[in-house]
Structure formats: structure tokens, C-alpha cells
Amino acid sequence: MQLNTPNRLLLSLLLVCLNACAPQSYVTLLENTDGSVGAVTVNGAAGETVIAKANTGSKLDGSAESFAVSQEQLQEDFGQALSARPELPDTYLLYFELTGMQLTSESQALIPKIKERILQRKGVDISIIGHSDTVGAEDMNAKLALKRAEFVKDMFDPKALNITEITLTSHGEKNLLVKTADEVKEPKNRRVEVTVR
């Protein structure tokens, strides 16, 4: 079986139903959380089938055309696997004003929403990555990005929010959201990325 996806992240959830849970083993493709769908090529003793549409299945031996899989059938065959999936991470981008440690008003308004989301999860760990634009020296931007990450970290009290771990990283100007030349004031590059898992 060969997986084809448009980028490095798997854009679909692939589930294989073993002989124990259905009369005929099959693969089905599900829609990713962003609505995208990858593709699966099933190579078996009886042939090859390609599925590239959500809620579509193929027998593992590649013996037949792809077929639609209803929500009811998905629940019957894969209900336990679907309910055991871990919750996907939430990622937030917090943007900073041109100088210093001041969040934009839109980003400041996100802080209570992030805290609320943290409280809805169990055993939370958070990754905080600081970024900068290309104005200034690269080593100074790395330090500034780390200071911004620390500034954001201080907004989340681990005890009050039941956070088990917080990791801090600075990418400085090395991981630009908007590619620019050196010495360009790009607001979207002055950011801290918060991932809640």
C-alpha cells in the first residue's frame, strides 16, 4: 500500500479494518480537519485501486473499484479506533508591535481564549516559539524572539491551568512566516507561536 500526500503532513486519516472486525478487510480515507484529503494506492494480489475521496474505501487485495463508506459503517467498523484518537494540537499565532514586548490588540484578545482552551484539555503541554522579522542583527533577533517567548510564557500559570510542561524556543529570523529581504519590517514575522497539546 502506497500513500500519496501533497505535503509532509499526512492530510488524511487512514484506517485499516482487520479481518476480526469485518468479513473483508479494507482501507478507508477520511477528511483531514482542514477539509483536505490525500490519496491512497492499494496494491494487492488481485490488482491496484486508488482512493482520493473522503469516506471512500478499497479492499486490501485491490480486487475491486473503490466504494463509498457511510458514517454508520465507519462507526461500526472503526468506532473504537476513532474514539481513541488523541486530540489534535491547537496552534495560535500572537503578533507583536514593531518594538519591544507589546502584543497587538488582536493577539492580546486571544490570551483568554487560549487559557480557556487549555482548561478544556487534560495533561497539557505547551510549546512556545519566538520569531522576529529581519530588522537588526541576526543574533539580536534571536534574543528578542526568546524574550518575546518568555513574555508569553509568563501569561500562563502552570499551576492554575494544570500545565504539565512548557518548552521555549527562539527561531529569531530563521523561520519567517512571510519571506522578506534583510531589514524588512514585516508584522507577521514578529510573532510567538503557541501550540497547546
Task: Name all domains of the chain by residue range, CATH numbers in brackets.
Answer: 2-84 (no CATH), 90-196 (3.30.1330.60)
* Size (the chain), residues: 197
What pLDDT score does 138 carry? 97
β-strand partners of 125: 165
pLDDT of residue 126: 97
Task: Give, for all 197 residues of the chain, the pLDDT tens digit.
Answer: 444 444 333 334 444 444 344 447 888 998 888 889 999 998 888 889 999 999 999 988 888 788 999 999 999 988 898 888 888 899 999 999 987 899 999 999 999 999 999 999 988 999 999 999 999 999 999 999 999 999 999 999 999 999 999 999 999 999 999 999 999 999 999 999 999 99
Phi and psi angles of residue 169, each rounded to the nearest 5 degrees, phi first: -145, 150
What's the Cα-to-Cα distance from 25 to each of 20, 43, 46, 51, rounded to whole Å? 9, 13, 14, 15
Q: pTM for the complete prediction?
A: 0.71
Calpha distance 101→157 (Å, rounded): 19
Residues 174-196 as b/e (b if ≥16 CB within 10 A, e otherwise) read eebbeebeeeeebeebbbbbbeb
Strands (E), the chain: 2-4, 13-17, 26-30, 39-44, 47-51, 56-59, 67-68, 90-95, 124-131, 163-172, 191-196
Short-list 151, 185, 186, 181, CA closest to 166 = 151
Laid out side by side, the sheet with 26-30 consists of: 13-17, 26-30, 56-59, 67-68
Q: Write down the H helix ranges in the chain.
A: 71-84, 105-120, 138-153, 158-161
Instruction: Enter the DSSP assignment of 87.
Output: P
Please state, in angstroms and rounded to a whole number, the distance separating the CA atoms of residues 66 and 176: 41
